Amino acid sequence: MKIGEQMGWEVIFWNHTPFGLEELGYKEIKLKGNARGKTDLLKRTKIEAELDHFTEKFNDPVYQTYKFSGSKKGFKKRVKNGLVSVLLSTHKGEKGLKKLRGKMKSSERKGEYYKNCKAVLEREKPALVFCTNQRPVNAIGPLTAAQDLGILTATFIFSWDNLPKATMVVDTDYYFVWSDHMKQELLKYYPHIKTDQVFITGSPQFESHFHQSLRQSREEFFKEHSLELCRKYICFSGDDVTTSPDDPQYLDDVAEAVRNLNSNGHRLGIIFRRCPVDFSERYNFVLEKYKDLIAPIDPFWKKYGENWNTILPTKKDLKLQVNTILHTEAVVNVGSSMVFDFAAYGKPCLYINYEVPKKNRQDWSTEKIYNFVHFRSMPTGEEVYWLNSKEEISEKLDQALQNPNEKVQKAVKWFNEINIQPANEASQRIWDNLSIL
């Protein structure tokens, strides 16, 4: 915000979340309404059609693993699934996808939501509408209204794994990406986008790691969270239940390994940072079992509703995440981008890569997770410690603690591939590129 204002921009947040921004001192207009049901059906069809197209075009079955089966409970849902199947049969390949993009816009133009968006734009007359996430179907209406009025539009690719998953719902004039790697992905999957429409900026999500004002001393952080100064801590970073349904058992296995290391002279503990949108009780049994070893420090996110996209971060959580990384030795998880957050501090990551005896979901596996396209960006495959069995955890944790540089240097190179450096200048690069449009 401050960078933009110093460059002469006035920023108004067109806010479609339940989070109030005025209380933080920002100008906002509440975005009222939602996309039409027909548009949502077309979006679902587009995602399925793109994944089928990618499978055929690149001769790679991995894209089918990104599909989610639509719920079959209830008559309406079965009807919707049938309509998606019919639309899929008539919208194949690049031509079919082009038609779907046009139909989504045409559908939105017929709704009250689009009309309300257009009225706001006619009143406010912005120079540009910048969408911070390419995924929501509710972004189609405001962006289409802007384009119909001749207002420039741009979007930011939200996460490092989004493009292979066919999550590009919006169609804008310009695209902001993390790296050259992501730019090449964007052009590969969406050949109708031209290279001069894409700007490489990096992601602002890493900038907080470089803000010295957020950092606490070890003594201060440990006192605030009732940690023991005589221990060194590792971070177990939880995933959501869909990404890693067996996370509680993995935490149990890691805690057992830490107990074994402690019996051989280590003085270790575990900080458990759960996935911010996971409010389940699924970890309770292991937290009780290892309450002498595991310190749960929940993220400071605020719950406004039951859906994951109504659970939102607070500024306080930036400080918590920074100091959790700063004051732990390594991170353990299943395939998380936390590898990059820890690499920014020169600290190693251990990826869990085995199945538990009693799986919670038979259609899930770590093999499936690590076969996803975004993990193919690893330059060597040696950027993390791979925990290929429960029995390996103690040994590899010990290696990570004794010689962290072995993996960290390679992880940093991977981070540099995924996110343009310096990582703390992403906001400046975004504003610089907005200013030349």
Cβ partners under 8 Å of residue 388, min gap 6: 353, 354
Record the tokens describing residue 5, joined without a space: 């204002």
pLDDT at 206: 97
Helix ranges (DSSP H) in 2-124 = 2-6, 37-57, 75-90, 93-109, 112-124
Closest CA to 237 of 314, 320, 313, 338: 338
**Is residue 91 within 8 Å of residue 100, measured between CB atoms?**
yes
Q: How far apart are the first and last CA of the chain?
A: 18
pLDDT at 212: 96
- Angle at CA of residue 16, ends 304 and 341, nearest 5°: 70
| Interatomic CA distance for residues 338 and 280, integer angstroms | 21
- Which residue ranges in the chain fall short of pLDDT 50? none
For the entire predicted model, the pTM comes to 0.94
pLDDT at 70: 65
pLDDT at 340: 98
Q: Which amino acid is at 135?
A: R
Q: What is the dihedral of CA 174, 199, 312, 249, to 10 degrees?
A: 120
pLDDT at 117: 98
Q: Which amino acid is at 76?
A: K
**Is residue 214 within 8 Å of residue 323, measured between CB atoms?**
yes
What is the per-residue pLDDT across 149-171, written as a single tens digit (0 to 9) for each?
999 999 999 999 999 999 999 99
Q: Burial of 87 by CB count in 10 Å (0-12 exposed, 13-18 middle, 19+ buried)?
A: buried
Q: Burial of 280 by CB count in 10 Å (0-12 exposed, 13-18 middle, 19+ buried)?
A: middle
pLDDT at 277: 87
pLDDT at 2: 92
CA distances from 176 to 132, 134, 199, 362 (A): 9, 10, 5, 38
Q: Give the three-class secondary structure for 60.
A: coil
pLDDT at 183: 98
Set out the domains of the chain in order of their start, with CATH numbers. Answer: 1-203+421-437 (3.40.50), 208-418 (3.40.50.2000)
**Is residue 326 within 8 Å of residue 346, measured between CB atoms?**
no
Q: Give the three-class secondary structure for 407.
A: helix
**Is residue 246 within 8 Å of residue 360, measured between CB atoms?**
yes
Residue with tokens 């907080």: 208
Record the tokens describing residue 37, joined without a space: 């049901």
Residue 128 half-sphere exposure toward CB, CA atoms < 13 A: 19
